[in-house]
Amino acid sequence: MWTREELKQNAKNTLRDKYWTILGVSVLAGILQGSFFTIITEMVNPTHTYLTVLGNYAIDVNGLIRLWIIITIISWLYSIFLGHTILIGAYKYFILSIKENPSTSTLFDFFKTSYWNIVKVTFFYQIKIVLWTLCFIVPGIIKAYEYCMVPYILAEHPEMESAAVFERSRMLTQNNKLNIFVLEISFIGWLFLGMLCCGIGILFVSPYIDITMTHLYLKLKEIHGIDQPELPPIPEIL
**Which ranges in 31-157 belong to alpha helices (H)?**
36-43, 49-55, 61-78, 84-97, 115-135, 137-146, 150-156
Mapped onto helix, strand or coil, the DSSP state of residue 228 is coil
What average pLDDT does the chain have? Answer: 87
Distance CA 230, CA 227 (A): 9
Q: Are 186 and 231 in contact (CB under 8 A)?
A: no
Residue pair 95/218 in contact by the 8 Å Cβ criterion: yes
What H or E segment, with its residue span, contains residue 202? helix 201-224
Cβ proximity of 144 and 180 under 8 Å? no
> Tell me: the pLDDT tens digits for 142-183?
999 999 999 999 999 999 999 999 999 999 999 999 999 999
pLDDT tens-digit series, residues 20-79:
999 999 999 998 987 655 655 555 565 554 455 545 544 556 777 788 788 888 888 999
Is the distance from CB of 161 to CB of 114 less than 8 angstroms?
Answer: no
